Amino acid sequence: MIKENVDRWLFASVSKFMYDRRQNITLYMEGQARTVTEEDYVQMRYNGPLWNQYNPVDYLLRVEINLLVCALMDEDTHKIYKMCGIFENALEESIPTYKYGDTPGVDDQSFLGCLLRQRSGGNQEIIVTHFGQVSPDVRVMQSTIEAHYLIDLRING
């Protein structure tokens, strides 16, 4: 395993995992080019990994997944909560990661390990914050969903 590829593999794995569970909701990755349209959507931001090294080959990595949920205001006053529920459910206790990519000899699609949702006070927390209508002239409700994950990796190279 090559340390320089781990961040890319984790991001690719988390992105695919969330995309596969989005149901019919548009999902963007932060920084992804998109056209500005009047639609409900979720934008995912991935932070990390933060590296902690135990010995020359063993690491504990921490990653954070933040989701910005945006729902157009209409007659369905529960829509933002339904959208949040779909993505809260998607932030499962563990997320499998793989060596995704197209670099020959490096990205063989093999299993890397599982990201495990981090515990806080004995709970595996998913933090949801509802902001409501942030700007009075923009008819959009916004919420955020946040979860933190850990993964232990042995890296021999």
Give domain limits for the chain.
3-154
Pair of tokens at residue 97: 């990661």
Q: What is the pLDDT of residue 157?
A: 62
Fold of the domain built from segment(s) 3-154:
STM4215-like (3.30.2000)
Residue-wise pLDDT tens digits, 19-77: 999 999 999 998 887 776 778 999 999 999 999 999 999 999 999 999 999 999 999 99
119-150 burial: b if 16+ Cβ within 10 Å, else e: eeeeebebebeeeeeeeeeeebbbbbbbbbbb
- Name the nearest CA neighbour of 70 among 119, 135, 123: 135
Q: What's the pLDDT at 36?
A: 66
Q: Find the mean pLDDT for residues 113-117.
A: 96
In whole angstroms, give the CA distance from residue 148 to residue 6. 17
